[in-house]
Amino acid sequence: MNDVKERPVARSARTEHTPHLIRKIGVVGAGQMGNGIAHVCALSGFHVLLNDVVPERITAGLATISGNLARQVSRQRISEEQRQTAIKHITPAKALDELGDCDLVIEAATEKEDVKRKIFGALCPALKPEAIIGTNTSSISITRLAAATDRPERFIGIHFMNPVPLMELVELIRGIATDDATFEATKQFIGKVGKQIAVSEDFPAFIVNRILLPMINEAIYTLYEGVGNVEAIDTAMRLGAHHPMGPLELADFIGLDTCLSVMQVLHEGLADSKYRPCPLLVKYVEAGWLGRKTQRGFYDYRGERPVPTR
Ligand code: NAD
């Protein structure tokens, strides 16, 4: 009986906050995802503070945003005025304590749990109490990351896809403690940046990467076992399955370190040998051949056109 009485009380306690207005966004990590997130937020009228532990990454991120906005102007997707306004909306932030007046901070740093935990430890004391923290993690438990903050109820997975300005989807993942106000405010925010939502439960790698990464890992096994070379595997999937990119080309685009981290999270989190990361993927990451971002992965990007490395 007690249980039955308590349920409505717990529910109303979850919904008592009205969704708060999000105006200013902090983005932590200015790599390929962070700069893409900053780009779409600024273009949608939000003020953005862009942070990275490596200051040069912020400069490089701003240059990438500027180049991508210019391309959008040349393709007549946006006006020159929109481009200029978007650029003005982004401010570099060298330290996390500069994010103090953000309404939402999206963490888009390296896919390593200890890196993310350290960021939340340093970030939380700087934030106002009502600020929401989102993480762009591809695979790590939202509930576990939330527990590393002072606000698990205002913590949520906001998983943008790569490249952010072009991809329509954002996966939204609630941790066990995420409250309704946070979920609603985040949903509204994603609508304002012009993306569609798919809601995923908090299980390793969520929906898209639970399906996509084992396919990429299998393509790497196909290479490792000599079934086909890089060119044959990518051609087979592009022309034979109508994928816009071959799986190895896609792995290079995602970043082989990120691919390996996602497979490790799937393997550890679901304890099923079908998720075992391919030893060849491990070898490429150990070599520092991380794909496009280091100019070498399953292809070598240092010349005029990509050349397969196997
Ligand atoms: P990236 O390697 O391009 O960028 C990561 C950035 O994080 C780097 O600039 C690095 O300097 C920065 N960083 C590391 N430690 C930091 C710290 N303590 N404080 C601030 N910045 C720090 O990686 P990415 O591809 O942009 O991935 C970022 C996140 O987005 C990861 O969680 C990844 O899983 C996720 N993600 C990636 C993709 C993809 O296709 N690459 C897609 C969706 C989500």
The domain limits of the chain are: 16-200, 208-308
Catalytic site includes residue 81: no
Of 193, 246, 178, which Cα lies nearest the Cα of 44? 193
Q: Which residues of 153-188 are buried (b: 16+ CB within 10 A; e: fewer)?
A: bbbbbbbbbbebbeeeebbbbbbebbbebbbebbbe
> Ligand 1 mean position to 33 CA, how many Å?
6
CB 206 within 8 A of CB 192: no
Cβ pair 157, 135 in contact under 8 A = yes
CA of 34 to the centre of ligand 1 (A): 7
CA 172 to chain centre: 11
Go through the chain and tell me how many residues it has. 310
Active site residue 138: yes
Identical fold between 16-200 and 208-308: no
User: Do residues 175 and 142 lie in contact, with contact meaning Cβ atoms separated by under 8 Å?
Assistant: yes
Counting ligand 1 atoms within 8 A of each CB, the residue from 116, 138, 141 with the most, and so the one to mutate, is: 138
Cα 266 from Cα 282, distance rounded (Å) = 15
Choosing from 68, 136, 209, 217, the catalytic residue is 209
CATH number belonging to domain 208-308 = 1.10.1040.50
State if residue 263 touches ligand 1 by the CB under 6 angstroms criterion: no
31 C-beta closer than 6 A to ligand 1? yes
Q: Is 171 a catalytic residue?
A: yes
Kindly state if the Cβ of 306 falls inside 6 Å of ligand 1: no
Q: 286 an active-site residue?
A: no
Best residue among 52, 145, 212 to mutate for probing ligand 1, ranked by most atoms within 8 Å of CB: 52
The finding on whether 170 has its CB within 6 A of some atom of ligand 1 is no
The single-letter DSSP state of residue 275 is G
For 272, counting Cβ atoms within 10 Å of its Cβ (0-12 exposed, 13-18 middle, 19+ buried), the class is: exposed
Q: What is the mean pLDDT of each run of 10 residues along the chain (310 residues)?
A: 39 47 96 98 98 98 97 96 97 97 98 97 97 96 98 98 96 98 97 98 97 98 98 98 98 97 96 98 98 97 97
Q: How far apart are CA 235 and CA 226, in angstroms?
A: 15
CATH of 16-200, one of 3.60.20.10, 3.40.640.10, 3.40.50.720, 3.30.830.10: 3.40.50.720
Kindly list the distances between the CA atom of residue 274 and the CA atoms of 29, 189, 213, 216, 283, in Å, as whole numbers in the listed order: 31, 37, 12, 13, 19
Structure tokens at 161: 């896809």
Of residues 177, 180, 128, 149, the one with CA closest to residue 24: 128
- pLDDT value of residue 7: 39
Question: pTM score, two decimals?
Answer: 0.91
Expressed in angstroms and rounded, the spacing between residue 210 Cα and the centre of ligand 1 is 19
Shortest-distance atom of ligand 1 to CA 34 = 26
Transcribe 189-252 into DSSP letters: HHHHTT-EEEEE-SSTTTTHHHHHHHHHHHHHHHHHTTSS-HHHHHHHHHHHS--SS-HHHHHH
CB of 89 closer than 8 Å to CB of 81: no
Q: Which of 138, 141, 200, 261 is catalytic?
A: 138
Tell me what pLDDT residue 19 has: 55
Query: DSSP secondary-structure letter at 296?
Result: B
Residue 254 Cβ inside 6 Å of ligand 1? The answer reads yes
